[in-house]
């Protein structure tokens, strides 16, 4: 047998050591943008990127239509669960793609006289990151500009300032610029962190939109409905059994990205699935693969044509694979190993294949550590299952609100395809459990806190982008006694809820 020299380690065994933070390194200046799919780094832009490095798990109890809408709105992506009929999964994808996005409903009453606080409150209430301001506060009125809540300009404004003055930079840039070039529009989109750039004529009419995804320009009819211009991006899970029927249905439904959902991805079945997709669709259909836990597994899937590679076996909160089968690897060791393999693969081929750390995140700081160790983005189950937007029931257990959360390998999910290696069906055994997780409220509120913690730690390490972060990060393995030292200790806690 081959023996790995290092111990199999997990996130709680590491800490980041701060680096120098220049004055420019403030949380509002940090970008969490990250590639979702492979690309020739330095030569082209990735076809799909995320503004927050988080995707929701391909699970019945996590990723349905509401999760799809809510996470896309925040700049991430949900992967609709595949352990359902092809028709039902395709319908969920269609529903997310059909949903309205971008601008708030016409009863929002945000007019040029509204204050910034009004806009912030509305944005928090609705979860909309871009708010249109029209002359009469309805979507039928004249569009005067847009306010984006996510660009943190608000932090530099006086809270009582009128929206109209806040909009000034937009008006200066956009109004009367009907003839701007696509590259000028592109610059503005990045500068203002917009997904789409409305171009407005002198008299306030909408003349066209430029989209971030491909910078294509869409000529608008001046009376065109604003709700109709933008579509959420959404992913969907597939398996290595019925992919010849499932993939075409999901592509037709508008899925932006697919992912092979399997507990163990270093296999001929994943190779065959990827080969078939490339044969049928070339590179136009984006598909991730996994899961693997070492460099060998990564290289195999990268060479098979995966658009991203997912890491993690046995670390999921509801997972008992390590107990039942004795396979897996500590999630931190797996991420560190695979990140090295990704970088070597990039040096050799010029192709950057993003990697996703899947499962095992308990605290928000685990996400930060996974990103420091080289993960491009994270897949989370338990984290998202706690929110209003997950599809499971909210129940009262002994006076405390909980959400149900069950593994795809549990008897409840019966997702045997995820674990199938051929053989008799009656020999299937559970690799996951059915559980409760504490209800935590809305996705928007929680994600805002989580990402602000990540931004803050990145600043402690002197990094403004995720790439800079993993290059600058200094990590130390910690002893069991320093773990004790890291929590509140030797005091009698008054309120445990303050400890998160």
Q: Which amino acids are annotated catalytic?
A: 319, 418
Q: Is residue 13 within the footprint of ligand MZP (CB under 6 A)?
A: no
* 314 marked as binding residue: yes
Residues 425-464 that bind ligand MZP (CB under 6 A): 431-432
Stretch that binds ligand MZP, among 169-177, 190-198, 316-324, 453-461 (CB under 6 A): 316-324
For residue 327, the minimal CB distance to ligand MZP (Å) is 12
- Run of H or E residues at 186: helix 182-191
304 is in an annotated binding site: no
Per CB under 6 A, 102 contacts ligand MZP: no
Report the relative pairing of strands 77-80 and 474-477 from DSSP bridges. unpaired
Identified binder of ligand MZP from the candidate list 361, 402, 463, 466, rule CB under 6 A: 361
Report the distance separating Cα 76 and Cα 378, nearest Å. 10
Question: Would the annotation count 262 as a binding residue?
Answer: yes
Nearest alpha-carbon partner for 229 in 255, 249, 252, 207: 207
Binding flags for ligand MZP, 53-92, as an x/- string (CB under 6 A):
----x-x---------------------------------
Residues 409-428 binding ligand MZP (CB under 6 A) are 409-410
User: Of the candidates 72, 380, 454, 459, which one interacts with ligand MZP according to CB under 6 A?
Assistant: 380
- Binding ligand MZP (rule: CB under 6 A), the pick from 319, 336, 466, 473 is 319
* Residue 359 contacts ligand MZP per CB under 6 A: yes
The piece of 40-48, 298-306, 403-411, 438-446 that touches ligand MZP (CB under 6 A) is 403-411
Q: Does 288 bind ligand MZP (CB under 6 A)?
A: no
* Region of 191-199, 340-348, 405-413, 487-495 interacting with ligand MZP (CB under 6 A): 405-413
Q: CA 109, CA 117: separation in Å to the nearest integer?
A: 13
Provide the 10 A C-beta neighbour count for residue 66.
Answer: 18
Question: In the complex with ligand MZP, which residue's Cβ is closer, 206 or 318?
Answer: 318
Sign of CA dihedral 10, 406, 401, 382: positive
Q: Is 379 in the site for ligand MZP (CB under 6 A)?
A: yes
Question: Is 25 a known ligand-binding residue?
Answer: no
- Near ligand MZP by CB under 6 A: residue from 317, 390, 392, 457: 317
Instruction: Provide the b/e sequence for 424-442 (b: ≥16 CB within 10 Å).
Output: eeeeeebbbbebbbebbee
Strands, DSSP E only, in 381-453? 394-397, 400-406, 434-438
Cis peptide before 291 (omega within 30 of 0): yes
330 labeled binding residue: no
| CB 419, CB 313: distance < 8 Å | no
Binding piece for ligand MZP, criterion CB under 6 A, among 188-196, 376-384, 455-463, 468-476:
376-384
- Residue closest to ligand MZP, measured at CB: 432
Tokens of 251: 């592509």
Residues with Cβ within 8 Å of 105's Cβ and at least 6 positions away in sequence, in order, are 126, 139
Q: How many chain residues are in contact with ligand MZP, going by CB under 6 A? A: 23
Which residue in 318, 335, 369, 466 binds ligand MZP (CB under 6 A)? 318
Q: Does 149 bind ligand MZP (CB under 6 A)?
A: no
- Minimum separation from the CB atom of position 214 to ligand MZP (A): 29
Q: E strand or H helix at 117, and its extent?
A: helix 116-126
| Contact stretch for ligand MZP (CB under 6 A) within 1-9, 68-76, 128-136, 404-412 | 404-412
- Subset of residues 21 to 60 that bind ligand MZP, contact rule: CB under 6 A: 57, 59
Measured between alpha carbons, how far is 424 from 419 in angstroms, rounded to an integer? 13
**Pairing relation of β-strands 206-211 and 217-219?**
antiparallel
**In this structure, what token pair is assigned to residue 339?**
């990140």
Q: How far is the CB of 473 from ligand MZP (least distance, A)?
A: 22
Q: Smallest gap, in angstroms, from Cβ of residue 261 to ligand MZP?
A: 8
Neighbours of 488 (CB within 10 A): 10
Distance (Å, rounded) from C-alpha 15 to C-alpha 368?
A: 10
The Cα 117–Cα 111 span in angstroms is 13
Q: Give 378-424 as a DSSP string.
A: EEESHHHHTBTTSSSPEEEETTEEEEEEE-TTSTTT--GGGT--SS-
Determine, following the binding rule CB under 6 A, whether residue 260 of this chain makes contact with ligand MZP. no
Q: Is 378 in the site for ligand MZP (CB under 6 A)?
A: no
321 lines the binding site for ligand MZP (CB under 6 A): yes
Among 38, 366, 382, 403, binds ligand MZP (CB under 6 A): 382
Strands 474-477 and 235-238: unpaired
Q: In terms of C-beta density within 10 A (0-12 exposed, 13-18 middle, 19 or more buried), how is residue 255 classed?
A: buried
Closest C-alpha to 205, from 185, 189, 186, 226: 226
Kind of pairing between the strands at 77-80 and 434-438: unpaired
Q: What are the residues binding ligand MZP (CB under 6 A)?
A: 57, 59, 312, 316-319, 321, 358-361, 379-383, 407-410, 431-432
List residues forming the annotated binding site: 261-263, 312-314, 316, 319
List residues forming the annotated binding site for NAD(+): 261-263, 312-314
List residues forming the annotated binding site for K(+): 314, 316, 319
């Amino acid at each position: 047998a081959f023996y790995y020299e290092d111990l199999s380690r997990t996130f709680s065994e590491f800490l980041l050591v701060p680096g120098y933070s220049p004055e420019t390194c403030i949380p509002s200046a940090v970008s969490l943008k990250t590639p979702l799919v492979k690309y020739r780094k330095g030569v082209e832009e990735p076809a799909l990127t995320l503004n927050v490095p988080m995707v929701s798990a391909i699970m019945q109890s996590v990723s349905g239509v509401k999760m799809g809408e809510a996470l896309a709105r925040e700049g991430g992506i949900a992967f609709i669960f595949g352990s359902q009929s092809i028709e039902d999964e395709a319908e969920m994808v269609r529903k997310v793609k059909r949903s309205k996005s971008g601008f708030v409903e016409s009863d929002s009453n945000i007019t040029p006289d509204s204050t910034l606080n009004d806009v912030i409150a509305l944005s928090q209430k609705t979860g909309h990151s871009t708010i249109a301001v029209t002359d009469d506060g309805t979507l039928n009125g004249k569009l005067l500009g847009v306010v984006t809540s996510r660009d943190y300009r608000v932090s530099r404004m006086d809270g009582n300032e009128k929206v109209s003055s806040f909009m000034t930079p937009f008006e200066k840039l956009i109004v009367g610029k009907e003839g701007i070039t696509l590259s000028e529009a592109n610059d503005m989109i990045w500068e203002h962190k917009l997904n789409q750039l409305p171009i407005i004529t002198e008299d306030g009419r909408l003349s066209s939109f430029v989209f971030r995804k491909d910078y294509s320009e869409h000529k608008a009819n001046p009376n065109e409905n604003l709700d109709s211009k933008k579509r959420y991006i959404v992913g969907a899970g597939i398996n290595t059994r019925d992919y010849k029927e499932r993939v075409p249905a999901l592509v037709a439904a508008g899925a932006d990205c697919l992912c092979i959902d399997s507990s163990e991805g270093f296999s001929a079945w994943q190779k065959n699935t990827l080969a078939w997709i490339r044969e049928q669709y070339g590179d136009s259909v984006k598909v991730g693969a996994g899961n693997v836990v070492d460099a060998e597994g990564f290289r195999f899937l990268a060479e098979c044509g995966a658009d991203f590679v997912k890491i993690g076996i046995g670390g999921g909160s509801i997972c008992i694979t390590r107990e039942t089968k004795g396979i897996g690897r500590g999630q931190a060791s797996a991420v560190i190993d695979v990140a090295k393999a990704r970088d070597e693969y990039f040096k050799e081929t010029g192709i950057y294949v993003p990697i996703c750390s899947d499962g095992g995140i308990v605290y928000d700081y685990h996400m930060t550590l996974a990103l420091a160790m080289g993960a491009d983005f994270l897949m989370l189950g338990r984290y998202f299952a706690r929110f209003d937007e997950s599809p499971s029931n909210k129940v009262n257990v002994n006076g405390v609100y909980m959400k149900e959360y069950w593994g795809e390998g549990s008897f409840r999910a019966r997702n045997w395809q995820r674990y199938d290696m051929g053989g008799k069906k009656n020999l299937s055994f559970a690799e996951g459990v059915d559980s409760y997780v504490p209800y935590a409220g809305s996705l928007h509120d929680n994600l805002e806190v989580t990402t602000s913690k990540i931004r803050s730690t990145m600043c402690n390490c002197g990094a403004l982008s995720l790439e800079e972060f993993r290059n600058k990060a200094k990590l130390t393995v910690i002893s069991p006694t320093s773990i004790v030292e890291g929590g509140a200790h030797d005091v009698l806690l008054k309120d445990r809820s303050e400890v998160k």
